[in-house]
Amino acid sequence: MRTVALCAIVVLSVAALGPASAEPPPSLAEIAFEDLSPIDFHASPLIVNGPAVIGFDGPKAVVEFETSLPTPPAVVRYGPVFFAGGIEQPIFRRVAVEAGDDTGDDPGSVSTAHRILVDVSKLESPLYDGGLVSGGGGVVACRVEVYDPDYGSVRTYERRFRYLREGEPKTGRYRLASTMVHGPFVDLVGPDSFVVSWETDAPAPGAVVVGERRFVSPEPSARHEVEVTGLEPRTAYGYRVHYGYDRGTTGTYEVTTAPPRGESGFRFAFASDSRAGAGGGAHAIEGVNHAALTAVLTGARSRGADLVLFGGDLINGYTSSQEVFEGQLASWMRAAGLVGSSLPIYEGVGNHEQVGDYFEVPDPEHEGYRIVMFRDRDDPRSAEAIFTAAFANPRGSSYGFCLGPETRAARGEIVTGPDYGETVYSFDYGNCHFISLNTNYWYSSVKNSFGTKRYPSDKGGSAVALEILGGCREGYVMQNQLDWLEEDLSMAQEDDAIDWVFVFTHEPAFPNGGHLWDAMFWGDAGKGHEGGLNDHTAPLGDVIDMRDRLWTTLVRHDKVVAFMSGDEHNYSRTLVDSGVDPAFTRPVWQIVSGGAGAPFYVQDMSSPWSGNVEAFSPVNHYCLFDVTEERVSLTVYSTTGAPIDEVRHFSSHARRSPRE
């Protein structure tokens, strides 16, 4: 017995040392539980302080900024701002070049501290004067161009400043004045009111003047939202903004109030995805494709749009820096301001409207690599809170109810997400009801970056991020929002003043080009319906379950004409009917319009519903919808002005006759 026992011990000891008993490497979840140290992510842009005009040296405005690495001398293109037809257009007419060092003898030097003198008196001449002489100063637009040696390209930053001059040009006294850094914007346009919003470079008083009436901002502030009331429907009103302590005033803008509730006969535009493009220059100004965005918005305005819906991905985002995030939103507002002063824009949230906490941990499956996870922050630093503060949109339903934050389990606890703020809302315009959904609420996932083999399409990594950090998967609509949508749609369905309902958001329910691997599918190419991410045991249902609940909600309410989204940088029109899923007993259009400037995607023919796609185009574009009581029609234009799709009876798959 003793010998046998000893042998047994020896065998067990050898087995314990052998490969069969080696402990498995720690899982990603185990590593993430152990090491959650926030990191800076895309938080150090080339310019880290400025550019800003800090004062004057004689007639020369002093522009200063700092760069995160040594760069060659920069260039400022500058010129007056001309006002015509309700649009302020900056004209860059002169150039100022930075001296290479304090003496200006070495133009080839590099530095992190930059100072450029912009001689505004050169604009005070008969050739360029836009009222700068007779007005004793005015607004100057400038475009700062800095060479980035890391990327071998020029980065561009746009700013404006206002100055006052006492005395004659060149010899007088020049000084900075209160400047409107972006705006004014006209928002929330109803039949008897509208809101004007703007921001100045420092807290200051402000007022909106309409005819002989003056609507004063409650107190000195940098951010202003002023409601103008007592108006008549379908009436054009001119307004101007007075701002600052030193007689700042805008030109006169014209806005037309909405038709009476229940009346038709208007046009609206839909577009999305204006984050920086690949063309350089004006195609990539602080996270925004200014060139494409302004072409989209001015095109919609010139073709008679009464309002614009914008479905998210305004900016590049994806940063841990709130300062960078807010700077990119300001860049978007500077571009959109060309038409936003007279045309209301209703903004939505996309996946690129992401500012949060980032965490980097070792990747157990790829030696030497790491994985980056991120999560949205709590209020007041959440993406939703910052977005709400930047724009003037409705809050909650036009029928008077809001929705509370979502909850979910993470790290074995129940955690609560941020407030939705003004990212989920509805409003009425004439005989239409519009609904904005946030399909990127409380966004958590993994992020592709240098030194990683993981990408956002990594389902396992994304699931770990949700387990560890909480939050919500990209493209997922959580239960409170689904309940809110059901209630809002039910009330619109019973509202005799509403003929048509449009739902807009960022993530498509049925992606067709560039985003089958996430959105509301999270699919594997070539696997059809089975390729989508779905776990029926998930507490709230997985991606496909959620999408089907969302879509059947739309189908049940026969005033719903279309579900409009972006995310995919192209145009597609898809008729989602019982051929896609037998539960979809009423056809509803899905419109994807992501053509406001982000790099394009072509069509992915592996989607299970590719046969339902009736139009597709990967060019910059915008959609125009014409609304009457009897029908809705659609025309899609490229930014060149060429039509790329047209449907005269777009609403033919909705209710057969209105108000039946």
Cβ contact 375:387 at 8 Å? no
Q: pLDDT tens-digit profile of 49-95? A: 899 999 999 999 999 999 999 999 999 999 999 888 778 888 999 99
Amino acid letter, residue 536: H
Q: Name the residue with tokens 């400038």.
A: 142
Instruction: Give the residue with greater pLDDT, 152 vs 293.
Output: 293
Q: Looking at residue 61, what is its pLDDT?
A: 97
Provide CATH 3.60.21.10 ranges for the chain: 266-653
**Mean per-residue pLDDT for 144-170?**
94
Cβ contact 417:441 at 8 Å? yes
Q: Looking at residue 528, what is its pLDDT?
A: 60
Answer yes or no: is pLDDT of 19 > 50: no
Dihedral in degrees, nearest 10, Cα atoms 163, 167, 168, 173 = -50
The set of residues, in sequence order, having a beta carbon less than 8 Å from that of 488 and lying 6+ positions away, is: 397, 399, 426, 435
Q: Are strands 500-504 and 560-565 parallel, antiparallel or unpaired?
A: parallel
**Which of 529, 532, 543, 533 is CA-nearest to residue 609?**
529
Residue 479: φ, ψ to 5°: -65, -45
Task: Give the CATH class of 47-177.
Answer: mainly beta
Exposure of 655 by Cβ count < 10 A (0-12 exposed, 13-18 middle, 19+ buried)? middle
Q: Which two tokens stand for residue 153?
A: 């390209």
Cβ contact 81:139 at 8 Å? yes
CA pair distance 614, 619, nearest whole angstrom: 16
Question: CA 241, 87, 330, 163 torsion: positive or negative?
Answer: negative
Proportion of the chain above pLDDT 70, given as a percent: 90
- Our CA angle for 116, 117, 118, nearest 5°, is 115
Answer yes or no: is pLDDT of 438 > 50: yes
Confidence of residue 525 (pLDDT cuts 50, 70, 90): low
Answer yes or no: is pLDDT of 105 > 80: no
**Mean per-residue pLDDT for 561-573?**
97
CA pair distance 110, 149, nearest whole angstrom: 10
CA pair distance 521, 510, nearest whole angstrom: 7
> Is domain 181-256 classified as CATH 1.20.1740.10?
no
Cβ contact 573:591 at 8 Å? yes
Confidence of residue 11 (pLDDT cuts 50, 70, 90): very low
Confidence of residue 363 (pLDDT cuts 50, 70, 90): confident
Q: Any bridge partners for residue 622, and if so which?
A: 637
**Mean per-residue pLDDT for 540-547?**
87
Instruction: Give the residue with greater pLDDT, 34 vs 188.
Output: 188
**CATH superfamily, with its number, for domain 266-653:** Metallo-dependent phosphatases (3.60.21.10)
Q: Looking at residue 25, what is its pLDDT?
A: 56
Q: pLDDT tens-digit profile of 445-499? A: 888 766 677 766 678 778 888 888 889 999 999 999 999 999 999 999 999 999 9
Answer yes or no: is pLDDT of 613 > 80: yes
Provide CATH 2.60.40.10 ranges for the chain: 181-256
**Mean per-residue pLDDT for 602-620?**
94
Q: Which two tokens stand for residue 134?
A: 């007779």
